């Protein structure tokens, strides 16, 4: 835990950007009847019946120090999906970075071994060498600022019915562009000193 908090105190370095990564799922919901559109004084109305169109996954790649994020929509959340997301981050989002300081929770897919399942060894090692990984502790995934950003995405963009992957990608991209244009950041206040007091139970006990 203190490891992650120490990372958050580092100054901004474009050659070693500090990036938080997390993911969430979204149930795709279709309408069985045409909704009644909003009118002056009347909100839009939806029928209580709906059809389930499967579940999509959204990766959040968030650089909190400069207020930059990328939302990547995938059909699944597997080791392979994570590996391809990380390669896109390395090659397309931060191609000029010497190394990416990556903060994640310790989900079993969030491992360099996933890269070796997705790519040839030389390619997997090339990507892995670009990563300096820091994991949040067990029961401490909320320390990942990408989780906070996903909460904002859910409230502002995903709290209504979205029918299919195409619509989800369109909505997520529009939200991403708006947030990036404003360079919205997370005002992180939680410190190591706070952790030692408020989260004492998460520290290993030492017997005298």
Give the sheet arrangement for strand 68-74, strand by strand: 68-74, 50-63, 18-31, 100-104, 131-135
Which of 6, 1, 16, 20 lies closest to 64, judged by CA? 20
DSSP helix/strand/coil, 91: helix
Q: Which tokens in the block code for residue 35?
A: 């909704």
Confidence of residue 171 (pLDDT cuts 50, 70, 90): very high
Judge whether 14 lies within some domain. yes
Q: Which of 2-11, 73-82, 157-166, 168-177 has the lowest mean pLDDT?
A: 157-166
Rg of the chain in Å (alpha carbons): 19
Domain range for 154 is 2-32+48-202
Q: Is the pLDDT of residue 8 over 80?
A: yes
DSSP helix/strand/coil, 71: strand
Judge whether 41 lies within some domain. no
Phi-psi region at 78: left, alpha or beta (left = phi > 0; alpha = psi -120 to 50) = beta
Phi-psi region at 139: left, alpha or beta (left = phi > 0; alpha = psi -120 to 50) = left
Judge whether 92 lies within some domain. yes
DSSP helix/strand/coil, 157: coil
Say what the pLDDT of residue 35 is. Answer: 53
Q: Per residue in 113-170, pLDDT tens?
A: 999 999 999 999 999 999 999 999 887 788 999 999 999 999 998 888 888 999 999 9
Q: Which tokens in the block code for residue 67?
A: 């207020």
Judge whether 73 lies within some domain. yes
What is the count of structural domains for the chain? 1
| DSSP per-residue codes, 18-58 | EEEEEEEEEEEEEESSPPBPPBTTB--B--S-EEEEEEEEE
In the chain, the percentage of residues whose pLDDT exceeds 70 is 84
CATH number at residue 109: 3.30.420.10
Mean per-residue pLDDT, 33-44: 62
């Amino acid at each position: 835990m203190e490891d992650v908090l120490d990372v958050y105190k580092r100054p901004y370095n474009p050659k070693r950007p500090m990036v938080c990564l997390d993911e969430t799922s979204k149930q795709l919901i279709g309408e069985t009847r045409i909704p009644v559109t909003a009118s002056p004084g009347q909100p839009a109305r939806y029928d209580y019946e709906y059809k389930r169109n499967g579940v999509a996954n959204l990766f959040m790649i968030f650089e909190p120090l400069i207020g930059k994020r990328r939302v990547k929509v995938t059909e699944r959340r597997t080791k392979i999906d994570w590996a391809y997301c990380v390669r896109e981050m390395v090659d397309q989002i931060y191609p000029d970075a010497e190394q990416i300081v990556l903060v994640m929770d310790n989900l079993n897919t969030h491992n360099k071994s996933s890269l070796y399942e997705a790519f040839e060894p030389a390619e997997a090692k090339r990507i892995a060498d670009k990563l300096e990984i820091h994991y949040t502790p067990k029961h401490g995934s909320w320390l990942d600022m990408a989780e906070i950003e996903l909460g904002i995405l859910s409230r502002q963009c995903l709290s209504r019915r979205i029918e299919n992957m195409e619509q989800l990608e369109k909505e997520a991209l529009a939200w991403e562009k708006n947030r990036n244009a404003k360079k919205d950041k997370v005002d992180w206040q939680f410190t190591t000193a706070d952790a030692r007091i408020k989260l004492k139970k998460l520290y290993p006990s030492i017997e005298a």
